[in-house]
Structure 1
């Protein structure tokens, strides 16, 4: 089963949106931002890249697991492949982050970690940071991966069912969790985290994946209109100043993201494989995970260089944003080729044995 080309491009776009937003946020804090009237663009929408990732994740997990439903050992095959794909690079970046804290104190705006924080960060166990109260691991963007792991476990639990029954079960469980989180006060922080309405975005993607798996397709005009409507709704919410917080996030960002994914994945062009794609979008889609994990450290290192050389006070902050992107793209491509792929292959060799039989090639790379 080949991966869907337009979804790969959307992955690349989502990772770039997040990085572009973080670069602009950093640039906006520079002294030169006032002198040069620095005005960020689409900064309010940069976070929607995460919502796109969540919807895409739900879609891919269903679409790429066609042969795992009701298969003997299907759940274990699914989990071992997801662990091999997600864990090694995240552990590596978390280790780099911790070593930076220990060896270069003051470089990162975070205190020295406690042992419990380190363990929970590596094991994808959500916890509340003492200083901020936020549910973030040491490497802060790992909060999204904590949700990913929760989705993987939930999805794997229902793989003994048919595709339709499994997707409906996941959607029902996630909906119930959201209701519990909304109706009951005083829940433990971990339960509050797992009942955040943002988990519904995985269900949105899973339902789209089911529709695609069952052969549903849109003709060109409805598919294009669906994508356009999603983009318009995202922009309209930003123009109206609606904050995508709490229960509003899956409505303000999640549903438009799902519309975009549905329009691209269910459209007639999805009968094609990735082979016809331009090289860079395809490769950057492959490297989107590396780009996502790498960008905070690259941005921090670039900001330190900018401050040390006086550039923060001297030149237009847009140079910081553009140079940051110019560094991040090739760095992510390099990391994917020379670090992520070998690590994933090694992890698969260690984890995927007899459980790999029913798995598809695309599941290994999704």
Structure 2
């Protein structure tokens, strides 16, 4: 299959999705920011993960599938490319999260008393299976749970993508609707049954079944499958929106912003698990056409660069909270006493770190891992 044209606006969109999540955690880490009402929309920034899942399915379909029903040519090459893409930065996130995890254990019974648990959490994270274990999913480096979910998606993609790319357009639309029904239905069933007896569920809630609903890869699969179906629809009709793509992208972006602003009036679990996925689908489809002011803005060189670094930004920003808090405190800037200066310095530190990791770790390691895992040419 020939290399398809790049979709630069979607690279810029990755940065927007990452910033959603980063600002959500920044707002939580700096208590003074919670009194700033204009930051309220970022209280729903966790929805950015849903955007990542849909976008991931779309991009993989665009790069690996064909409109006439051909799937992944080499499963090995596909999986090697995925490991090379994610694992070095992911492992870095685990590494810098381990001291934070150990420090937490030392405050709750001591490291030796928690040694078995610590080793189990680290092993689960290194093997990308933590999202299957509710107690481990958000330990060590919380954003890593979504990479555990993505790893499951990658394993399924060669077969799932092959099956979806052979479906007719009408069937893809039905499948997309079914994916949304499954995502919404699972969340609504949890809220109706309330197996954890929480009553009201918020972003601060924690319970075993709630963790299953939020983090379990099988529960989040409909969002990824929706993205694959969307990618196939785009491959078959990339100019379906025509000149309307520009206005459609702006409207979809506006609706997404309104949805985030209204997150406190909506069921938390629904927002977390894909309530805005249809809006994200429209936004992705329209931006892929590359038309209009929003697409041009997201395609600019600075935003493309930030989009490339968004993976590191997303994966490293949570463990960096603890390190930045200790560093900034040396200069008398704390999370509680000076939230705005603290938050601004933290965000700059995160972005600088992400760009440095992109250029000095992520890109070189991607090449090295591909070379290491790819079969060597025969010499006989």
TM-score range, shorter chain: 0.7 to 0.9
Alignment of 1:39-78 (within 5 A): 39=37, 41=39, 42-66=41-65, 70=70, 73-78=73-78
State whether residues 30 and 335 of structure 2, in contact with CA within 8 Å, keep that contact through their aligned partners in structure 1.
no
Offset from partner CA, 1:315-334 (integer Å, 9 cap, x none): 64211222222222222111
Residue 164 and residue 242 in structure 1: after superposition, are their counterparts in 2 closer, same or farther (change >3 A)?
Answer: farther
Q: Provide the residue aligned with 2:88 in structure 1.
A: 88
Residue 81 and residue 326 in structure 1: after superposition, are their counterparts in 2 closer, same or farther (change >3 A)?
Answer: same
Alignment of 1:20-35 (within 5 A): 20-28=23-31
Q: Does residue 335 of the first structure (1) align with residue 357 of the second (2)?
A: yes
What TM-score, normalized by structure 2, do the two folds share?
Answer: 0.74
Alignment partner for residue 123 of structure 2, among 95, 119, 125? 119
Q: Provide the residue aligned with 2:16 in structure 1.
A: 13
State whether residues 164 and 228 of structure 2, in contact with CA within 8 Å, keep that contact through their aligned partners in structure 1.
no
Alignment partner for residue 205 of structure 1, among 220, 227, 233? 227
State whether residues 89 and 340 of structure 1, in contact with CA within 8 Å, keep that contact through their aligned partners in structure 2.
yes
Residue 114 and residue 209 in structure 1: after superposition, are their counterparts in 2 closer, same or farther (change >3 A)?
Answer: same
Residue 103 and residue 250 in structure 1: after superposition, are their counterparts in 2 closer, same or farther (change >3 A)?
Answer: closer
Alignment of 1:216-235 (within 5 A): 216-217=238-239, 218-235=241-258
Report the aligned-residue RMSD: 4.0
The runs of 5 or more residues in structure 1 that have no matched partner are 356-366
Offset from partner CA, 1:126-149 (integer Å, 9 cap, x none): 34454xxx7435321111112211
State whether residues 70 and 160 of structure 1, in contact with CA within 8 Å, keep that contact through their aligned partners in structure 2.
yes
Residue 294 and residue 180 in structure 1: after superposition, are their counterparts in 2 closer, same or farther (change >3 A)?
Answer: closer
Structure-1 separation of matches of 2:181 and 2:274: 17
Q: Does residue 289 of the first structure (1) align with residue 291 of the second (2)?
A: no
What TM-score, normalized by structure 1, do the two folds share?
Answer: 0.77
State whether residues 47 and 271 of structure 2, in contact with CA within 8 Å, keep that contact through their aligned partners in structure 1.
no
Q: How far off is 1:66 after superposition?
A: 3.2
Residue 223 and residue 12 in structure 1: after superposition, are their counterparts in 2 closer, same or farther (change >3 A)?
Answer: same
Q: How far off is 1:62 after superposition?
A: 0.2
Q: Provide the residue aligned with 1:151 in structure 2.
A: 153
Alignment partner for residue 278 of structure 1, among 271, 285, 300? 300
Offset from partner CA, 1:86-131 (integer Å, 9 cap, x none): 12221222123224544897699x975433222222222134454x
Structure-2 separation of matches of 1:343 and 1:299: 25
Q: Which SS does the other structure have where 1:140 is aligned?
A: coil
Q: Provide the residue aligned with 1:255 in structure 2.
A: 278
Q: Provide the residue aligned with 1:360 in structure 2.
A: none
Residue 201 and residue 13 in structure 1: after superposition, are their counterparts in 2 closer, same or farther (change >3 A)?
Answer: same
Q: How far off is 1:39 after superposition?
A: 4.5
Structure-2 separation of matches of 1:72 and 1:282: 27
Q: Provide the residue aligned with 1:163 in structure 2.
A: 165
Structure-2 separation of matches of 1:158 and 1:98: 35
